[in-house]
Structure formats: structure tokens, C-alpha cells
């Protein structure tokens, strides 16, 4: 029985890789094959690992072979009771299902409040829409009242976790070192951290943007290197604090300057080839009408979307704006 299972599973992988090379299938096809046919649990480590590896392949991104698959993430923040999160996730999923071809080009993740995760876990299992947490503890378990561990997030179907969002840095006094430790904890617990970096308006006006980004990133990279993280196990999000929830946009020049700087820091620390595979998202008042010009920038591999992700048609329009999805 066991050998039959292994045989079937191996065949499905071979089939998947052949199809993927032809550009006809995506990791989503793999999810369905594994889930429907071969009873691999969605939260199992081999499954997560395979999906991570697959996510690092994208021969179609902006028409060039860059090894980075676009990622669009919705951060719902502290919004949504169970019924609302279920309805919103359902609307987004229905939209993705109608975009069979587009879904192949972009990976899409939503980060609802903790209370919505369990309910959505069953609903979204094996679908094109993945779940992420908005934060996690650096600890595994124990006397940490009010905290949620990475293992708990995995247990309710999360693949990703946002770390170091500027609202947590401001409201909960999370500093660079703690965000670094949380990055190590996320890797340890089998989650892909999406680490947010960004300067305040005051720091930008003092021309300290790059210095701030460098300090934030170096705390993350020292832990990432110590954890021997792979390129598909880290996502960075540049989010200028002054552009979050304000309706103010960073200009494409400002965004590309910081993204290229982050890529250079990654190359210095991890090597150019490795750095070229790490996805860097932009976040800060991304809306359907400004998404495309931001997504077209060389070092922008997708977006972290706050307010606009609370409206299914706006979020789907942002997904449609990604160049490969046109």
C-alpha cells in the first residue's frame, strides 16, 4: 500500500515537472494533484518544501527569465468578522478561478486577522488562494499570553507570515533585532516570512532612507543566513511608512531606487545569483489605477496591499495589473 502511494506520488511529480517546463501547469496544478489524488496533507513539510521550490521558478515573469514568481499579498489588518472574511475570501477566490490563465503567473496570498484563519483554512485548502498570518511570536510555545506561534499558523493552513509591519513596529515597539529573531522563528516553523522594511517621512526628509533600510535588512539577513535559508524562503516588502494607508504614492523612481538598493544589499550578503531569486514586493497605497506602473519596475516582484485588498474587485484589478497577467 505504502509503495503504491509513493509510486503514485512520484508519477504525479514527474507529470507536474514536465507540464511546468512546457509552461502549461503551475504549482496550483501540483496542489490539486497531490491533494485530490494522493492524500498529501496540505500542512506537511514535503508539500510546503515542494511548493516553495516550485514558486522559485518563473520563466515568464515580465517576459524574462529572472527566477522570481510574482506575489500579491492582501493585508486585511484588524478588519473582518468571520462572515465577512469568508465572504471576501470567497469573492477573491471566485475571481481567481475565473482567471485560470492569470492565476498561473501570480501567486496570491491573503492575511486575514487570526480569528478568521481557521475558518478559511478548510475553505481555501488546495485552492489558488493561500493564507498568511499578520504576525507571529518568536517563541514556539509557553507563557506568552496573547501570542500566536508559527506552528499554530501552520496548523491553520498558513504558508506565509508578515513580519515587522510598520504598524507593529510603531504600536508594539518591535525593533530590528526582534524582527530578525522572528524571521529565524518563521523559517524554523516552516513559514515563509514576508519582512516589511520602510522609512518614516521624517527619515526620508533627512535623507536617511537607505541607511534605515540597510539597518532593518541587516538584522534580518544575519538571522536568515544563520538559519541557512533558501532564496524561496524569504520575501521582502518595501513599504515607505508615509505611503501606508495615506493615499500618498512613492514615485516609481523612489520605489526602484530602494528596491535596487535592497537587491544590491542582498547580493553583497548572499551572492548575486541568490539575490536575484528573492522576491521584493512594494506596499503603500497600491490601488488599481497605480498598480501597473509600480509592477512594471525591474525590481518589483509584486505588491503588499492593505486597504485595497478589502475590496474583492479592487484586489482582483490589482492582480490583473501585474504585467504577466495582462
Site residues for ligand PEP per CB under 6 A: 75, 239, 244-245, 283-286, 304-308
Report the distance separating Cα 99 and Cα 316, nearest Å.
Answer: 10
CB-nearer residue toward ligand PEP: 75 or 256: 75
DSSP-assigned letters across all residues of 232-251: GG-EEEE--GGGTTTSPPPP
In the 8-state DSSP scheme, what is residue 325? Answer: G
CB-nearer residue toward ligand PEP: 229 or 283: 283
* Residue 291 DSSP SS3: helix
Pick the catalytic residue from 107, 138, 165, 199: 165
CB of 148 to ligand PEP, least distance (A): 19
CB-nearer residue toward ligand PEP: 182 or 277: 182
Report the distance separating Cα 88 and Cα 41, nearest Å.
Answer: 25
CB-nearer residue toward ligand PEP: 270 or 291: 291
Report the distance separating Cα 93 and Cα 128, nearest Å.
Answer: 7
CB of 305 to ligand PEP, least distance (A): 5
CB-nearer residue toward ligand PEP: 75 or 216: 75
* Helix-then-strand count for the chain, H and E: 16, 8
CB atoms under 10 Å from CB of 144, counted, come to: 12
Contact, 71 vs 279, CB < 8 A?
A: yes
CB of 166 to ligand PEP, least distance (A): 8
CB of 165 to ligand PEP, least distance (A): 6
CB of 234 to ligand PEP, least distance (A): 17
| Residue number closest to ligand PEP, CB atom | 306
- Torsion-angle region of residue 39: left (phi > 0), alpha (psi -120 to 50) or beta? left
**In 3D, which of 52, 57, 63, 72 has the Cα closest to residue 25?**
57
Question: Is residue 205 flagged as an active site residue?
Answer: no
Q: What is the CA radius of gyration of the chain?
A: 19
Question: Is residue 203 flagged as an active site residue?
Answer: no
Pick the catalytic residue from 167, 199, 223, 239: 239
Q: Which residues are catalytic?
A: 165, 239
Amino acid at each position: 500500500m505504502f509503495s503504491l502511494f509513493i509510486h503514485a506520488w512520484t508519477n504525479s511529480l514527474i507529470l507536474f515537472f514536465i507540464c511546468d517546463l512546457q509552461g502549461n501547469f503551475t504549482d496550483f496544478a501540483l496542489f490539486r494533484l497531490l491533494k485530490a489524488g494522493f492524500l498529501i496533507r496540505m500542512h506537511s513539510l514535503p508539500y510546503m518544501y515542494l511548493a516553495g521550490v516550485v514558486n522559485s521558478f518563473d520563466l515568464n515573469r515580465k517576459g524574462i527569465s529572472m527566477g522570481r514568481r510574482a506575489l500579491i499579498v492582501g493585508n486585511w489588518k484588524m478588519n473582518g468578522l468571520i462572515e465577512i472574511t469568508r465572504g471576501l475570501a470567497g469573492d477573491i477566490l471566485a475571481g481567481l478561478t475565473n482567471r485560470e490563465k492569470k492565476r498561473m503567473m501570480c501567486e496570491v496570498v491573503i492575511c486575514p486577522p487570526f480569528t478568521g484563519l481557521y475558518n478559511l483554512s478548510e475553505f481555501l485548502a488546495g485552492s489558488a488562494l493561500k493564507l498568511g498570518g499578520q504576525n507571529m511570536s518568536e517563541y514556539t510555545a509557553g507563557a506568552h499570553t496573547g501570542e500566536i506561534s508559527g506552528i499554530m499558523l501552520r496548523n491553520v493552513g498558513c504558508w506565509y507570515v508578515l513580519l515587522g509591519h510598520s504598524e507593529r513596529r510603531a504600536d508594539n515597539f518591535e525593533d530590528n533585532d526582534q524582527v530578525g529573531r522572528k524571521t529565524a522563528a518563521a523559517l524554523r516553523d516552516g513559514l515563509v516570512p514576508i519582512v516589511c522594511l520602510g522609512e518614516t517621512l521624517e527619515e526620508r526628509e533627512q535623507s536617511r532612507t537607505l541607511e534605515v533600510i540597510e539597518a532593518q535588512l541587516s538584522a534580518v539577513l544575519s538571522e536568515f543566513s544563520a538559519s541557512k535559508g533558501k532564496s524561496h524562503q524569504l520575501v521582502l516588502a518595501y513599504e515607505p511608512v508615509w505611503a501606508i494607508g495615506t493615499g500618498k504614492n512613492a514615485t516609481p523612481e523612489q520605489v526602484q531606487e530602494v528596491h535596487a538598493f535592497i537587491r544590491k544589499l542582498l547580493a553583497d550578503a548572499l551572492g548575486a545569483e541568490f539575490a536575484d531569486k528573492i522576491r521584493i514586493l512594494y506596499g503603500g497605497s497600491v490601488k488599481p489605477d497605480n498598480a501597473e506602473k509600480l509592477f512594471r519596475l525591474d525590481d518589483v516582484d509584486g505588491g503588499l496591499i492593505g486597504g485595497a485588498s478589502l475590496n474583492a474587485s479592487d484586489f482582483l484589478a490589482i492582480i490583473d495589473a501585474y504585467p504577466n497577467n495582462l
